[in-house]
Structure 1
Amino acid sequence: MQVSVKWLHDYIDFTETAEELADKLTMAGIPVENVIRADEGLDKVVTGRIEKIEVHPDSDHMVITSMNVGAAEPVQIVTGAQNVREGQIVPVAMIGAKLPNGQKISKGKLRGVQSNGMLCSAEELKMDVTALPKEQTEGIYILPEDTPVGIPASSVLGLDDVVLEFELTANRGDCFSVLGLVREVAILTGNEPKWPVIKVNEDDAAKASDMIRIGIQAEDLCSRFSARVLKNVKIGPSPKWMQQRLEGAGIRAINNVVDVTNFVMVELGQPMHAYDYDQIAGHSLTARRAVEGENLHTLDDSERLARGNELVIADSEKPAGLAGVMGGQESEVTDSTTAIVLEAACFNGASIRRTSRACGLHSEASGRFERGTDVTATIRAIDRAAQLLQEMGACTVTQGVVDVYPVAKEPVHVTFTAEQINSRLGTEIPAERMIEILEKLYFKVSPQEGGVYSVEVPSWRNDVTFMEDLSEEIARIHGFDNIASTTPRGNVTQGGQKPLQAFADRVKLALSHMGMCEEVSFSFTSPEIFDKMELPEDSSLRKAIPIMNPLTDEFPLVRTTLLGSVLENAVRNLSRKNEDIKIYDVAPVFYPKALPLTELPREVVKVAGFMTGRRNPVGWSNDSAPIDFYDAKGIVEDLLEMLEISRYQVEAGEYTAMHPGKTALFKKGKEVIAAVGELHPKVAENFGITKKAYVFEMDLLTLLKYTVAKSSCTSLPRYPGISRDLAMLVDENVSAAEIERTISRNGGKFFAGVTLFDVYQGKQIAAGKKSMAFSIQFQSNDKTLTDAEADEGFQGILEAVQKEFDAELRG
């Protein structure tokens, strides 16, 4: 939001400079971001009359002018412009001027003739050339014949103004208008505003209600809809003063009708729109929801297909405008327009915000509707627009206003006591001063019993609903710098992470120490990811929560699996030739209890990883062996060891997106604590992954449940141990984990551990069999073991494996 100081002066007198006013407004909670001077660089540019023109003796395109700039003597200036004539009044840059385009003016000679300044073009003065006639954009800018000589050119060009650029907070929608800012200036300067008198002369015999019908179908999105009809409309340029006011607000002048609607929007804060009456099918306008697939042809000449939740203003055949955002192309006011319908309405801010974002359109009108407008101001706005056009002689006004206002807004009432306000602010402001501040802000204050005051909130202050809001109004006008600073008091407690958050950091640190890189992903996904992961149609993972306003159409769902996000990021890396990948993610997934949602979903934090490429970095001392299943399995085992999770079983199994024959499940009892395996070939193909890849996934809460709460340690053994090797033939389907569990159960009291060190299948081994060799350790913390004591435990192991696995010992 920006506005010129001249526009503020139209409604209130004040002596403060622009900078002083900006400081006062900012300290009162109406922040001014910039103070922009329109006349910057024009301080030494004056008006001058061309008294005489002579031919340059040494140039066929330059002339020598004698300029009257209000000084005692004429000034000689050489120019190459072809449009200069004797008697013209033009802007003259004197010696020492630094023009807005950065050009410095100094004494000099042009082809041997002294030149003491420069005649200026519109472009050199940084004027808006798009709003000028063509003849004023080529050569020197020609001023009106009655322009006085020797005065600052900025005053003649309307550039002697200062623009305040505001960075308003979203709750102060009332300050997105000149009159809203005038109310603030009035209380801060102590001056009385001069409100515009709005009076319409209905000088046409026709009745508006006979010419136009309006209605509201979507009352939840449009609370009021008002219209006036103007006849005998004459389209032309708006007055110069109005163009300058709009330019100060950053709005380009177009024609008198469009300029008036923009002027009223900035003046009153009520957006409005003008329709060509003859282009409205059925001469009816209705605020309704768009029909899905309906064509929306807006003023920017763009075609859009409605999604079905936008609010549109429609005639009897089609949408005539995208409500609160942009008008329609077909009903646009043109040079041939002879009758118009002025429309002003109050729309639901959230609906306008969604529509504006979905369509990629943001306008001055949508910005105001998003922040909330005054529902009582619609008729005032169309009356003001009709008045201004009538004063220009651009129309006649039909009888009456057509107004649809289904549910009138009730005034908001808030109660407070002086003690409540002072207690909250830490002040001792008298109740009388509080009432004075509120009444100057146009709140109506009525005293009640017991020191209670009832306050009726103005219709334009949608942000005031509680006592706390009133305390803020009193504080900002009283002056924040007048409130004493105090040291905060209260019990100080040390912050900290929740156990799950601290555990997640521990897992991340462990995986990073193992050479893996953490990735960060969005919590969104799409049905295509489920298809690529080959999830069955009845899989619970497909029951994902849809997002009402997704950031993009590519991610309309909340994810139910972390592997999908990891695989997407892996593909993104592979497509950029990063082919050695070890990545992991620790992030939540969301499981709804039912769809559509009736309660918050269950949030589960998962750990997932992806590995492919070379095992070791490229280097002269490293080989190029690829990562295999045991690298991924080793990562999981090392993580469990670092988390001090032990006594788990590893067995073959099946898991989402993993190769069914190359997947290991880590279990505690019947509960799966981790899954690791080769990426399913079909899934790899769907994602476009052409090399062997390995993935793992774990539930963070499950890991936390089994991790050791307090670490313990034992002293190193003082006595030597005894090792025995056991080699045997077993069925090829028997897993090492099964054998290790049997060895552990039957190793006796001195059993210390078992390690698989060899697995072999080949010519010397019968079909369907494999050879496995284990190193078994025996040790005592109290003494040196004898061979007999170790043999006793070893014998128990032999008998157990022969019995359970029909193992055949190898020599």
Structure 2
Amino acid sequence: SFRFERGTDPNMTVYALKRAALLIKEIAGGTISSDVVDVYPNKIENRLISVKDKNITRLIGKNIPREDVFTILENLEIAIVRKEAETFTVSVPPYRVDVLQEADVVEEILRIYGFNNIELTEIAGTAYLAEFPEKDSNKFKRALGSQLVGNGFYEILTNSLTNVAYQQKHNLTFTGTPVEMLNKLSEEQGILRQTMLFTGLEVCAYNINRKQKDLKLFEFGKIYWKNESGEDVTKRYTEEERLALYMSGNTETENWQAKSKAVTYYDLAQQVVQLLDKVNLENLKQEKLDDPLFEYGMKLMKGNKEIGKLGKVKTSLTKDFGIKQEIFYADLNTALLFRSANPKFVVQEVPKFPEVRRDLSLVLDKQVTFDEIRTLVLNTEKKLVKEIIAFDVYEGDKIPAGKKAYALGFTLLDESKTLTDDEIEKVMTRLMGAFEGKMGAVIRK
């Protein structure tokens, strides 16, 4: 019980025994037959604890007069046995089993003095509260999860243990080496996973085999690996938080207004972009993905660190799970995403002047990505170009081999005045010159 959790005073034994004997004599008519025999060779004495005045002020956040401190302690039956210039020593009775060190004495002082009597200092005032509450990783994940659920995703939870055969069959290697279980329940659960993909594919296969083919799933989990070169055993093992997204089948159920549409890579990319917009992630770069798990895809970089990757899972992998339809998969580093997120947002006035839309069609090498196009546009005209979109991409008849045609839409805006036709033409001329000079583009007119 809580009463005995807090401990009892061993020096109360004789007193309690005498009190019990008197009650037996008074109430039950008993007689006291002998004196007390007390075998107590090593008596527990009061604890002596040294307390520094500066530590009281540091821990409480306020300078409490010594006289008030002494009064509080003496009323708690904690005697002051020695006083010095900056320290004093107290004698704590054995029944106070919760007062063992200096911090406990300070806590007793604060408890009686009252939290309500501690004013906010400049450190713990508005400057501190301006950043309160601090970023909470669990709240961060709940916000991402709510966003995905609102977009029709279902959360799954899979086992961190997986089958090493999944990666051995395709000769896959990941960061570090697998963490193998010493006491395996089975070979199918022999190692800690190094990727979220395999356990997620098991869930996809389970649902598809039961006629649930339109899938939008996500999972928060961890991956693990062992660093063989780690000298310190505490640094030999690493775990990393991840967010995995899976999409397959059709995006919407077929209805009288529209036919069903198969999920594509761009549907998954749209979900990832919405998540990144949600956390206000800035200065993100997109790079072409070269990963043995994917047939094609893209990786997202923040500086020299990889935030995540997304793409179409290799058919050879999905076949191992008996899956005959395409699986699109995104893997995000949740911890890095959390640290890189910018919780602040900027509010600005709605533009008073009209936007202008101009379209441009050009033929480029097939290897050129839209991200490279956007980077070139912003480097050429960052002030007036507010948005760039690709509303059509075409390969085929009338387009040379190894080329593809982009149809681009540019939104131009000057927040200080209305753009003139001459200014608009100058911007578009600069952009066309940049496309022709730096990308070898052919402008289609």
Superposed pair shares fold, TM > 0.5: yes
SS class of match (2:241) = strand
SS class of match (1:430) = helix
Match of 1:582 in 2: 216
In 1, the alpha carbon distance for the partners of 2:400 and 2:301 equals 32
In 2, the alpha carbon distance for the partners of 1:577 and 1:701 equals 35
Match of 1:648 in 2: 284
In 1, the alpha carbon distance for the partners of 2:4 and 2:318 equals 67
Match of 2:61 in 1: none
1:759 to 2:393 alignment: yes
In 2, the alpha carbon distance for the partners of 1:742 and 1:781 equals 22
In 2, the alpha carbon distance for the partners of 1:744 and 1:564 equals 39
Alignment of 1:156-555 (within 5 A): 424-425=6-7, 430-432=12-14, 446-449=40-43, 451=45, 499-531=136-168, 534-536=170-172, 539-540=174-175, 543-550=177-184, 554-555=188-189
Q: Is the 2:380–2:430 Cα contact (8 Å) retained in structure 1?
A: yes
Q: Is the 1:724–1:775 Cα contact (8 Å) retained in structure 2?
A: yes
Q: Is the 1:663–1:677 Cα contact (8 Å) retained in structure 2?
A: yes
Higher relative helix content: 2
For residue 415 of structure 2, what is the amino acid of its counterpart?
Answer: N
- The offset of 1:603, in angstroms, is 2.2
Of 288, 293, 296, which residue of structure 2 is paired with 1:657?
Answer: 293
SS class of match (1:626) = coil
- The offset of 1:700, in angstroms, is 0.9
SS class of match (1:599) = helix
Match of 2:270 in 1: 634
TM-score w.r.t. structure 2 length?
0.69
- The offset of 1:620, in angstroms, is 3.0
Identity %: 22
Match of 1:238 in 2: none
- The offset of 1:582, in angstroms, is 0.8
- The offset of 1:423, in angstroms, is 10
- The offset of 1:617, in angstroms, is 2.1
Pick closer, same or farther for the CA change 1:748–1:426 going to 2, 3 Å: same
SS class of match (2:410) = strand
Match of 2:227 in 1: 593
In 2, the alpha carbon distance for the partners of 1:756 and 1:791 equals 20
Deviations 1:713-740 (A, max 9, x none): 2222111022211111112222222112
Of 388, 402, 411, which residue of structure 2 is paired with 1:768?
Answer: 402
Of 195, 200, 212, which residue of structure 2 is paired with 1:566?
Answer: 200
Please tell me whether Structure 1 or Structure 2 has the larger radius of gyration of its CA atoms: 1
In 2, the alpha carbon distance for the partners of 1:649 and 1:742 equals 13
SS class of match (1:790) = helix
SS class of match (2:189) = coil
Pick closer, same or farther for the CA change 1:553–1:799 going to 2, 3 Å: closer
In 2, the alpha carbon distance for the partners of 1:780 and 1:709 equals 28
In 2, the alpha carbon distance for the partners of 1:435 and 1:558 equals 59
Q: Is the 1:744–1:754 Cα contact (8 Å) retained in structure 2?
A: no
For residue 326 of structure 2, what is the amino acid of its counterpart?
Answer: K
1:608 to 2:190 alignment: no
In 2, the alpha carbon distance for the partners of 1:748 and 1:737 equals 15
Pick closer, same or farther for the CA change 1:579–1:433 going to 2, 3 Å: farther
- The offset of 1:676, in angstroms, is 0.9
In 2, the alpha carbon distance for the partners of 1:559 and 1:434 equals 61
Deviations 1:161-198 (A, max 9, x none): xxxxxxxxxxxxxxxxxxxxxxxxxxxxxxxxxxxxxx
Pick closer, same or farther for the CA change 1:765–1:573 going to 2, 3 Å: same
Pick closer, same or farther for the CA change 1:785–1:521 going to 2, 3 Å: same
Pick closer, same or farther for the CA change 1:728–1:496 going to 2, 3 Å: closer
- The offset of 1:449, in angstroms, is 4.8
Pick closer, same or farther for the CA change 1:629–1:793 going to 2, 3 Å: same
- The offset of 1:684, in angstroms, is 1.0
In 2, the alpha carbon distance for the partners of 1:725 and 1:704 equals 37
Deviations 1:680-703 (A, max 9, x none): 011111121111111110101221
In 2, the alpha carbon distance for the partners of 1:567 and 1:592 equals 24
For residue 6 of structure 2, what is the amino acid of its counterpart?
Answer: R
SS class of match (2:270) = helix
Q: Is the 1:614–1:624 Cα contact (8 Å) retained in structure 2?
A: yes
Match of 1:55 in 2: none
Match of 2:438 in 1: 804
In 1, the alpha carbon distance for the partners of 2:362 and 2:223 equals 46
- The offset of 1:633, in angstroms, is 1.4
Q: Is the 2:225–2:238 Cα contact (8 Å) retained in structure 1?
A: yes
Q: Is the 1:616–1:622 Cα contact (8 Å) retained in structure 2?
A: no
In 2, the alpha carbon distance for the partners of 1:497 and 1:517 equals 28
In 1, the alpha carbon distance for the partners of 2:387 and 2:178 equals 46
Q: What are structure 1's unaligned runs of at least 5 residues?
A: 1-26, 30-420, 437-443, 453-470, 472-487
Pick closer, same or farther for the CA change 1:576–1:745 going to 2, 3 Å: same
SS class of match (2:343) = coil
For residue 784 of structure 1, what is the amino acid of its counterpart?
Answer: T
In 2, the alpha carbon distance for the partners of 1:733 and 1:641 equals 27
SS class of match (2:179) = coil
For residue 432 of structure 1, what is the amino acid of its counterpart?
Answer: V
Deviations 1:114-138 (A, max 9, x none): xxxxxxxxxxxxxxxxxxxxxxxxx
In 1, the alpha carbon distance for the partners of 2:383 and 2:133 equals 44
In 1, the alpha carbon distance for the partners of 2:322 and 2:154 equals 22
For residue 599 of structure 1, what is the amino acid of its counterpart?
Answer: T
Match of 2:30 in 1: none
Deviations 1:403-436 (A, max 9, x none): xxxxxxxxxxxxxxxxxx9993477982237899
Q: Is the 1:422–1:428 Cα contact (8 Å) retained in structure 2?
A: no
In 1, the alpha carbon distance for the partners of 2:372 and 2:427 equals 18
